[in-house]
Amino acid sequence: MVSAVIMRVLASALPFVEVSVPAIIRGGVAVFLFVLGLASGVMGLAALQRAGTTSDPRRPTGAAVLVTTGIYSYTRNPMYLGLAAALLAWAVWLSNVAALAGVVAFMLYIQRFQILPEERVLAARFGEAYEEYRRSVPRWL
């Protein structure tokens, strides 16, 4: 993943913004965040598969049903949230404040070039039901 590589480069290039955290704490927090991210992604994927709709982010027009239950009742984008959590885990592991820029960059990029186009397709496909869902469930958390 491009963001993870950029984060590593930033951490190496800017050692003066490193945060000194004992490895046991840093590792524990990183593993916790990674597991949360993995769980979010897996739950999102499983919910889409159970509903019999596409999970392919390149083909939002293939959405057969609007999934609003389970993890989708807390976040509209559990798989992207999971990726962001995994990147946050990587930033924690790197112990460098500059690495957080990679998490932010990923979130801004994915929102602009993936989430917003998906939302336009879903709004056109599911109309008022999607608009109501969008008003009641946050995009990230």
**Does 105 map to a domain?**
yes
Give the residue-averaged pLDDT of 66-78: 98
**Does 9 map to a domain?**
no
**Does 8 map to a domain?**
no
State the Cα–Cα distance between residues 19 and 42, nearest whole angstrom.
Answer: 31
Range of the domain at 127: 21-136
81-133 per-position pLDDT tens digit: 999 999 999 999 999 999 999 999 999 999 999 999 999 999 999 999 999 99
Q: Is 96 helix (H, G, I), strand (E, B) or coil?
A: strand
CA angle (130 as vertex; 124, 132 as ends), nearest 5: 135
Copy the structure tokens of residue 11. Answer: 């951490």
Q: Residue 138, by phi and psi: left (phi above 0), alpha (psi -120 to 50) or beta?
A: beta
**Does 76 map to a domain?**
yes
**Does 11 map to a domain?**
no
**Does 14 map to a domain?**
no
**Does 141 map to a domain?**
no
Domain count, the chain: 1
Q: pLDDT at residue 1 above 80?
A: no
